[in-house]
Amino acid sequence: MPAAAIALGSNLGDRLANLRNACRHLETLAQPTGEFRYSLVYQSVPRHCPPDSPDFLNAVVELEFDGDGLELLRKTRAIEQLLGRDRKGARNAARTLDLDLLYVGDEQCDTQDLTLPHPRIAERVFVLQPLVDIRPHMVLPGEMVTVAEQLAMLLPYEAPLQALEEGLEL
């Protein structure tokens, strides 16, 4: 069964509750006998968002999923909608929930709807830092270095994120 990682972000409403609710829904997608891992929760400043956008809370979960990336994308989009995500607003506008597929096993695809692994993982401390919490030695498909090494390459240019004391505990 392939492991799939999903980045969670929220910068609207009760951000921590939004992430916890998403985590509960994501857990239902996991194989009953498989592992379900989650990172610490980090606060990050918005990037490429409209001015005055609130800060994000970010985390990453990894689960064993019995399906492919497009199926998981459909399911994560349904969770976003269920938990109040409005995709009709401006691009990168404040949102209750953002779920981004990072990888689904070794699957590699590049379609209009989905690119796996996520093409901007290595550019985002707010994704790499929580991913390192759960899989520091992982080498993503098509890469040569671990996610921990990718994070180390970004940290001279960006400050490390601080974890919240409260987390995703289910």
Catalytic residue positions, numbered: 85, 95, 98, 100
What is the per-residue burial (b if ≥16 Cβ within 10 Å, else e) of 136-159? eebebeeeeebbbbbbeeeeeebe
- Cα separation, 151 vs 157, in Å, equals 10
Distance in angstroms (rounded) separating the CA atoms of residues 30 and 64 = 5
74, 25, 146, 2: CA torsion to nearest 10 = -60
Instruction: Using DSSP, state whether 10 is helix, strand or coil.
Output: strand
